[in-house]
């Protein structure tokens, strides 16, 4: 039988420990406030501009540590379990449990196993001091003595509740998990305040054996639970099953929230700024010393707007699911400051590539480059908003052969004003405008607007007018913000910029686009009447407050865009597939535009948006248009804006040319061998190809079937190769053309009329 340690042996052991302590150097006692202040979570909290949590991002891969948890926020069951398991006389001793120490020493003398003598205070001293930290081989005698002295010092300077609180937040549990917050959320999926007796017993058991097998942890937990609830029968078998399931859980995901891509972006910006010692880093991480001691970063985002934008995008993409669309992105910029107010990088769970950030990914922008092209042409006085541009079949010679642009709906409108051409998104007039400007000059303009073109303008050629280069949603939206700001370019930011302390006036921002031209383009894109030829009168693009907007769709329906601005905000939306696969039957008004319109309405629910004031150097005057081939005015008279010196009251065609009635009938459009690749910027019901001819009494046939009579007809295209024939009054074929239609079109039915497929 083992003898019990006597009071004399305890006093002797204490005297030996105190004597040994005199030989150790004095240690500074860290305060509770210092420990709490220096505590850092393994994840960073990314906050909105008002301090609301947006996202948590794992930034320390070596450990999983949650937030500092106050003792009052720890469940009573857990506090009880921890004390009963690790230090039964915690509230009685002064840092060293002499009874436990002497019992342990006596047991070692008799070579018997006893409970360890390390108190919670002693364990905490080892956690706070690296020199006293336990190694894989255990603590040395000197470390044990130092731990004892440190524990006594802690007890003299700290309260018991502070000791227990610090211990619960710094004690390692299992694997990489440190602290009760990380343990509770990882193993039990809840906050420490919600742990019950069963969960608390498992937590306490893990302190004693952090990496033991589940069966051993369960056995220890059962002992703790029995001690906690001696009057109740403990089902250790059920606890074994519960423990096995709990220790395998990894439910705590610090990368959670509503702005994952923005969070990663701003942390990268701050990291880069820190390396350059930029002041923006100081401003962004100023919140990292907040009261919760969680490392945090403040951004320029608005949490309510971010939440609405994400919900709106996901809801709309669910509606488009049957059209083979799963991805989308959205960004909102403050026009004045360049601050990012919302950043939705993907559709989240709807996407198979949710990690891809659609805000920064490079994609073809389609027709959304046209406003920048027309602004440049107007600024260079090559055209005015009322200038007539021919919308007809064009064959442009290039180094690689003939370039034959087509409109989205395959219909040529004839001569149209630049206002109509831009607002209705007509492709052929845009290409003709680029011919005037030149691809290389336009490419330089795009780069000045912040668009990251990888190649020269000559590389893209005239297709650059239709968006053949790749840009990001962020850079494109910021280029539109430049138009909103009168052509002045500025950078965007996710991190709050520090207040300007310099008394010197800030440098003027670069102005890649003439302010007058930017105003005219904004006036065109805000004109619902100008876009009716393509989008109709009742368009989703029309808002009850002032906005300017442009849609675009890239080749083969891979990307769909809607970008536009109001008095205060610029909003850009992209929908498509991160994989690059084509969408099915998604037009400029059914893809990104509805999301753009909803976000704009949200932004201006209680905030007006008024049209900008014209800058100096503009003239407004009434213009009229001459007659077309049918004798009617080409366009209705209207009031139009001009750069001073370019204004004129009448725009008309040269009417001196007449058609010889005796000339033989022939097809004037389309050209033979035309390839039509349907571009989905126009609603399906407006998909037409225009056939033009000369001569009297002619009729058209397509693929041998009668189509219509007259010199001009509109045809619903459908995929395939087709033979167009012009037949005279006697039924003789006098001319023919072959063409090919590629992509989604219409199904042939009832002499060419049909339904979209």
Q: Is 135 helix (H, G, I), strand (E, B) or coil?
A: coil
Q: Which of the four pLDDT bands, split at 50, 70 and 90, describes residue 609? A: very high
**Arithmetic mean of pLDDT, 669-685:** 67
Decide if pLDDT at 281 tops 60: no
What does pTM read for this prediction? 0.74
Residues contacting residue 226 through CB under 8 Å, at least 6 positions apart: 234
Which of 57-71, 99-113, 459-473 comes out lowest in average pLDDT?
99-113
pLDDT in tens, 297-356: 999 999 999 999 999 999 999 999 899 999 999 999 999 999 999 999 999 889 888 899
**Arithmetic mean of pLDDT, 712-723:** 86
Please choose, from the candidates 256, 297, 497, 477, the residue with its C-alpha nearest in 3D space to the C-alpha of residue 369: 477
**Arithmetic mean of pLDDT, 372-391:** 94
pLDDT in tens, 142-198: 667 777 888 888 889 999 999 999 999 999 998 889 999 999 988 898 899 999 999
Beta bridge partners of 619: 642
Q: What is the DSSP letter of 114?
A: -
> Which CB contacts under 8 angstroms, 24+ apart, belong to 541-546?
541/589, 541/593, 541/597, 543/597, 543/600, 543/601, 543/604, 545/604, 545/608, 545/609, 546/609, 546/610, 546/611
Bigger pLDDT: 29 vs 336 = 336
Please list the alpha-helical segments (H only) found in 39-186.
76-86, 98-109, 120-128, 141-157, 160-170, 180-183
**Arithmetic mean of pLDDT, 609-630:** 93
How many residues appear in the chain? 757
Question: Using H for helix, E for strand and C for coil, what is the string for 425-475?
Answer: CCHHHHHHHHHHHCHHHHHHHHHHCCCCCCCCHHHHHHHHHHCCCCEEHHH
Decide if pLDDT at 428 tops 50: yes
What pLDDT score does 639 carry?
97
pLDDT in tens, 255-265: 679 999 999 99
**Arithmetic mean of pLDDT, 271-295:** 51
Q: Is 72 helix (H, G, I), strand (E, B) or coil?
A: helix
Peptide bond into 62 cis (omega under 30): no
E strand or H helix at 200, and its extent?
helix 197-208
Bigger pLDDT: 238 vs 595 = 595
Beta bridge partners of 553: 560
pLDDT in tens, 364-377: 999 999 999 999 99
Most confident region among 395-404, 426-435, 748-757 by mean pLDDT: 426-435
Calpha distance 145→188 (Å, rounded): 37
What pLDDT score does 407 carry?
58
Bigger pLDDT: 351 vs 744 = 351
Calpha distance 96→101 (Å, rounded): 8
Decide if pLDDT at 396 tops 80: no
Calpha distance 518→10 (Å, rounded): 89
What pLDDT score does 673 carry?
79
Decide if pLDDT at 603 tops 60: yes
Question: 379-400 in b/e burial notation, b at 16+ Cβ within 10 A?
Answer: beeebbbbbbbbbbbbebeeee
Q: What is the DSSP letter of 361?
A: S
Which of 78-92, 114-128, 273-287 comes out lowest in average pLDDT?
273-287
Peptide bond into 670 cis (omega under 30): yes
Mean pLDDT of the chain: 83
DSSP string, 619-684: EEEEEEE-B-TTSSBSS--EEEEEETT---SEE---TT----TTSPPEEEESPTTEEEE--TTS-G
Calpha distance 145→207 (Å, rounded): 22
Q: What does the CA dihedral 85, 87, 91, 96 come to, rounded to 10 degrees?
A: 180
Calpha distance 121→80 (Å, rounded): 16
Please choose, from the candidates 108, 99, 76, 130, the residue with its C-alpha nearest in 3D space to the C-alpha of residue 6: 99
Most confident region among 458-472, 494-508, 707-721 by mean pLDDT: 458-472
What pLDDT score does 12 carry?
55
Compute φ and ψ for 56, nearest 5 degrees: -110, 135
pLDDT in tens, 467-510: 999 999 999 999 999 999 999 999 999 998 876 555 555 567 78
**Arithmetic mean of pLDDT, 518-542:** 89
Decide if pLDDT at 16 tops 70: no
**Arithmetic mean of pLDDT, 409-415:** 71
E strand or H helix at 342, and its extent?
strand 340-344
Q: Which of the four pLDDT bands, split at 50, 70 and 90, describes residue 637? A: very high
Residues contacting residue 235 through CB under 8 Å, at least 6 positions apart: none
Q: Which of the four pLDDT bands, split at 50, 70 and 90, describes residue 412? A: confident
What proportion of the chain, given as a percentage, has pLDDT over 70? 80
Asked whether 624 and 637 are in contact (CB, 8 A), the reply is yes
């Amino acid at each position: 039988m083992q003898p019990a340690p006597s009071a004399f042996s305890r006093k002797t052991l204490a005297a030996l420990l105190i004597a040994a302590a005199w030989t150790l150097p004095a240690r500074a006692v860290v305060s509770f406030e210092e420990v709490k202040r220096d505590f850092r979570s393994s994840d960073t909290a990314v906050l909105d501009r008002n301090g609301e949590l947006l996202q948590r991002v794992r930034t320390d891969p070596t450990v999983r540590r949650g937030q500092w948890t106050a003792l009052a926020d720890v469940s009573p069951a857990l506090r009880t379990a921890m004390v009963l398991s690790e230090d039964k006389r915690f509230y009685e001793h002064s840092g060293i449990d002499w009874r436990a120490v002497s019992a342990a020493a006596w047991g070692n003398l008799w070579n018997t196993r006893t409970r360890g003598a390390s108190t919670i205070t002693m364990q905490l001293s080892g956690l706070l001091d690296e020199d006293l930290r336990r190694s894989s081989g255990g603590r040395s005698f000197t470390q044990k003595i130092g731990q004892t002295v440190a524990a006594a010092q802690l007890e003299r300077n700290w309260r018991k509740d502070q000791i227990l609180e610090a211990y619960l937040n710094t004690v390692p549990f299992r694997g990489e998990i440190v602290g009760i917050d990380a343990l509770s959320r990882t193993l039990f999926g809840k906050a420490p305040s919600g742990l019950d007796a069963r969960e608390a017993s498992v937590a306490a058991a893990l302190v004693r054996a952090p990496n033991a097998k589940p069966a051993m942890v369960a056995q220890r937990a059962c002992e703790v639970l029995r001690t906690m609830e001696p009057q109740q029968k403990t089902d250790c078998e059920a606890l074994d099953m519960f423990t096995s399931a709990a220790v395998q859980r990894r439910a705590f995901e610090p990368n959670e929230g509503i702005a994952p891509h923005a969070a990663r972006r701003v942390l990268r910006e701050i990291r880069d700024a820190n390396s350059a010692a930029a002041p923006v880093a100081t401003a962004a991480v100023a919140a990292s010393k907040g009261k919760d001691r969680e490392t945090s970063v403040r951004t320029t985002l608005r949490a309510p707007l971010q939440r609405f934008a994400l919900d709106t995008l996901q809801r709309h993409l669910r509606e488009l699911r049957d059209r083979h669309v799963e991805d989308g992105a959205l960004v909102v910029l403050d026009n004045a400051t360049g601050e990012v107010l919302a950043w939705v990088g993907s559709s989240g769970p709807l996407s198979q590539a949710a990690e891809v950030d659609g805000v920064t990914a490079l994609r073809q922008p389609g027709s959304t480059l046209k406003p920048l092209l027309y602004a440049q042409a107007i600024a260079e006085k090559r055209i005015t908003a009322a200038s007539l541009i021919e919308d007809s079949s064009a064959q442009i010679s290039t180094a690689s052969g003939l370039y034959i642009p087509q409109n989205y709906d395959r219909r040529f409108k004839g001569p149209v004003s630049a206002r109509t051409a831009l607002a209705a998104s007509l492709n052929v007039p845009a290409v003709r405008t680029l011919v005037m400007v030149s691809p290389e000059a336009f490419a330089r303009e795009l780069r000045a607007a912040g668009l990251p073109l990888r190649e020269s303008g000559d590389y893209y050629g005239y297709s650059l007018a239709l968006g053949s280069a790749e840009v990001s949603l962020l850079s494109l939206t910021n280029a539109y913000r430049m138009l909103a700001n009168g052509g002045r370019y500025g950078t965007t930011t996710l991190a709050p910029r520090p207040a300007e302390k310099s008394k010197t006036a800030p440098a003027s921002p670069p102005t890649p686009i003439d302010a007058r031209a930017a105003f005219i383009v904004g006036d065109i894109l805000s004109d619902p009447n100008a876009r009716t030829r393509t989008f109709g009168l009742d368009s989703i693009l029309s808002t009850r407050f002032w906005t300017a907007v442009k849609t675009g769709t890239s080749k083969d329906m891979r990307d769909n865009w809607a970008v536009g601005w109001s008095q205060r905000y610029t909003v850009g939306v992209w929908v498509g597939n991160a994989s690059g696969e084509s969408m099915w039957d998604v037009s400029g008004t059914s893809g990104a535009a509805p999301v753009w319109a909803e976000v704009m309405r949200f932004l201006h629910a209680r905030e007006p948006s008024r049209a900008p004031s014209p800058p100096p150097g503009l003239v407004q005057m009434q213009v009229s248009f001459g007659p077309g081939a049918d004798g009617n005015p080409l366009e209705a008279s209207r009031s139009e804006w001009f750069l001073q010196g370019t204004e004129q009251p009448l725009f008309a065609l040269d009417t001196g040319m007449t058609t010889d009635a005796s000339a033989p009938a022939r097809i004037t459009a389309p050209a033979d061998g035309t390839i039509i690749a349907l571009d989905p910027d126009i609603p399906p019901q407006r998909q037409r190809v225009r056939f033009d001819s000369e001569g009297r009494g002619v009729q058209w046939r397509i693929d041998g079937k009668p189509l219509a009579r007259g010199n001009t007809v509109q045809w619903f295209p459908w995929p395939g190769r087709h033979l167009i024939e012009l037949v005279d009054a006697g039924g003789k074929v006098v001319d023919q053309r072959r063409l090919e239609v590629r992509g989604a079109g219409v199904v042939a039915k009832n002499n060419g009329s049909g339904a979209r497929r």
